[in-house]
Amino acid sequence: MAERVLIFDTTMRDGEQSPGATMTADDKVEIARALDRLGVDIIEAGFPFSSPGDFEAVQRVARAVRRPIIAGLAHANAQAVDACCDAVRVAERPRCHVFLSSSDVHLLYQLKKGPEEILLQATEMVARAKKKVSDVEFSPMDATRTQRDYLVRVLSSVIAAGATTINVPDTVGYTTPDEFYDLIRYCFEHVSGIEKVTVSVHCHNDLGLAVPNSLAAIRAGARQVECTINGIGERAGNASLEEIVMTLRTRHDLYGVETGIDTTKLYPTSRLVSDITGLVVQPNKAIVGGNAFRHESGIHQDGIIKNPITYEIMDPVSVGRSDRELYLGKLSGRAAVRKRLSELGYNLSDEELGKFFAEFKRLADTKKQVTDQDLEALMGEERREERGRYRLENLQAVCGSDRVHRQASVTLVDRDGKRLHRVAQGNGPVAAVFAAISQAVGLKPEPELLDYTVKSITGTAEAQGDVTVQLRADGVVVNGRGVSTDIVEASAKAYINALNRLLEAPALTSV
């Protein structure tokens, strides 16, 4: 039987470090359930010491999802390690992931400590974690810019202290596949006790090499890869889970290893993460991008019609994409909607379906064909409304060439049913709507709008507008999303979603 590579998903920890991608505890539980269905082996649910909110989120994930290992991340200091162990302890299979920098540049300029002091700190903190949970991972941060003999000493020492997984992070995305292969081989040859532990890698994408580097490490013997859905993460992101998994599967002839991933869940999971984080997937993204299975040139289309293997190395159905365009419309009944939602990975209770169906009918009245993307967008809209402190009840906006009339009136409802009403002006209807919402909520200081994007979900005149906004207040950046056939309403919903996130966001401590 082929050897197994463990998939360690860090979408909810490193992925959450993408600007604006903060997740609430409810969001994390929902993503964790999707990752469980996907079949990941380890879920890194957060950074418990960073905020009480993240501590609670990690605990809720640990209670809700019982099959995978649930990991928390901890700086190598006593308080962080204790908080992490306390948060994950409720999991069926808890893991504490301790990290500390090991490169000269980090020691000299950031930690201002000598190598012997760092070695001792790493070893002591792994030993401390080991007393509380049996599964302990250690990461020497910036490993790929660390002197090799020192890296070997650190790794050997933490293994002796009880680490069960040693992770080699390319924290700044600096290495290349050949060099990384060589480094992992070097570790196998020189680190004492390495045969007793799992060797893991964690690659960042600064040079666009996160996936090739992870694959090179697997060829060198690494048996755990740390990755994220859609490749989200700090700066240019982490290695993309879907790309690694599909490469290992498609080129099994080269790698000869297996994962436990149900690849048909890749696409729905990607959509869910994009929807929750507000991070839109670029159309040309491998596996999950809008164009990944679209054939534009005549020669390619001809080949695909004759036999898909002419130009498709993967079956779109194998990654959870539909092989047919199926539309629902205003004559579609509950059963058809339920069936399609379940094919897309959403299994609703009767009560949830009843609520969803009413929204579906409203949309089908204004739009002839309701596509899969429309259904997903509606699901996202319901989720945002349910979780947010405020929701939009009513909106009227006036626009036109006469400046004086550009104004908006909005009514919001909060969780306790209290109504907030405001009228405001702006240099356009969207600006007026944003001003009215912001005044109604009364957040001080007023959030700064960093980004505002409108796109259409299906590209027709009657399509739904999909709006994302990015806001910053008090140094916290959040993304918001809103969907409606009316783009001013979609903008209002996106702005409210972002405000709701600002109101809930724990100030993140960056790694």
* Interface ranges with ligand KIV (CB under 6 A): 14, 73, 99, 139, 141, 167, 169, 171, 202, 204, 511
Nearer to ligand KIV, 137 or 372 (CB): 137
Q: Which of 9, 14, 170, 372 binds Zn ion (CB under 5 A)?
A: 14
CB under 5 A: which stretch of 12-20, 263-271, 378-386, 389-397 binds Zn ion?
12-20
- Residue whose CB is less far from ligand KIV, 14 or 504: 14
The stretch among 8-16, 361-369, 430-438, 479-487 that binds Zn ion (CB under 5 A) is 8-16
Residue 64's binding partner among Zn ion, ligand KIV, none (Cβ under 5 to 8 angstroms by kind) is none
Dihedral (C-alpha) 79, 83, 85, 87: value to the nearest 10 degrees? 180
Q: Six-digit token pair at 354?
A: 């009843």
DSSP symbols for 149-204: HHHHHHHHHHHHTT-SEEEEEETTS---HHHHHHHHHHHHHHSTTGGGSEEEEEEB
CB-wise, 146 or 407, nearer to ligand KIV?
146
For residue 464 the two structure tokens come to: 């739904």
CB atoms within 10 A of CB 91: 25
Q: How far apart are CA 255 and CA 221, in angstroms?
A: 10
Q: If binding is defined by CB under 5 A, does position 137 make contact with Zn ion?
A: no
Q: Which does 205 bind (CB under 5 to 8 A by kind): ligand KIV, Zn ion, none?
A: none
Question: Nearest distance from residue 367's CB to Zn ion, in Å?
Answer: 41
Residue span binding Zn ion (CB under 5 A) among the ranges 7-15, 318-326, 471-479, 492-500: 7-15
Round to whole Å and give the CA distance between 350 and 368: 25
> Smaller CB distance to ligand KIV: residue 172 or 441?
172
Give least dist CB 10 to ligand KIV, A. 7
**141 interface partner picked from ligand KIV, Zn ion, none, CB below 5 to 8 A per type:** ligand KIV
Q: Name the residue with the smallest CB distance to Zn ion.
A: 14
DSSP H or E stretch at residue 392: strand 390-398
* Cβ 171 to ligand KIV shortest distance, Å: 3
* Binding site partner of 130, from ligand KIV, Zn ion, none, Cβ cut-off 5-8 A by kind: none
Owner of token pair 């390495």? 194
Shortest Cβ 269–ligand KIV spacing (Å)? 21
Nearest one of 54, 198, 215, 61 to 137, comparing CA atoms: 198
Q: How far apart are CA 36 and CA 25, in angstroms?
A: 16
* Min dist. Cβ of residue 511 to ligand KIV (A): 5
Number of residues that bind Zn ion (CB under 5 A): 1
* Identity of the amino acid at 4: R
Task: Report, in Å, the least distance between residue 197 CB and ligand KIV.
Answer: 16
Pick the closer one to Zn ion by CB: 205 or 274.
205
User: Closest distance between ligand KIV and the C-beta of residue 345, in Å?
Assistant: 28
CB of 99 to Zn ion, least distance (A): 9
> Which is nearer to ligand KIV, 205 or 259 (by Cβ)?
205
Q: Specify the DSSP class assigned to residue 109.
A: I
| 252 contact partners, CB below 8 Å, separation of at least 6 | 2, 258
Q: Do the bridges between strand 165-170 and strand 419-425 make them parallel or antiparallel, or are there none, so unpaired?
A: unpaired
CB-nearer residue toward ligand KIV: 236 or 348: 236
Q: How far is the CB of 221 from ligand KIV (least distance, A)?
A: 19
d(CA 237, CA 234) in angstroms, rounded, equals 5
Taking the C-alpha atoms of residue 287 and residue 319, their distance in angstroms, rounded to an integer, is 7
Q: Which residues contact 394 (CB under 8 A, 6 or more apart)?
A: 409, 410, 411
55: partner contacted, choices ligand KIV, Zn ion, none (Cβ within 5-8 A by kind):
none
Pairing, β 465-473 against β 476-484: antiparallel
Strand 224-227 with 407-414, pairing: unpaired
Chain positions contacting Zn ion, by CB under 5 A? 14
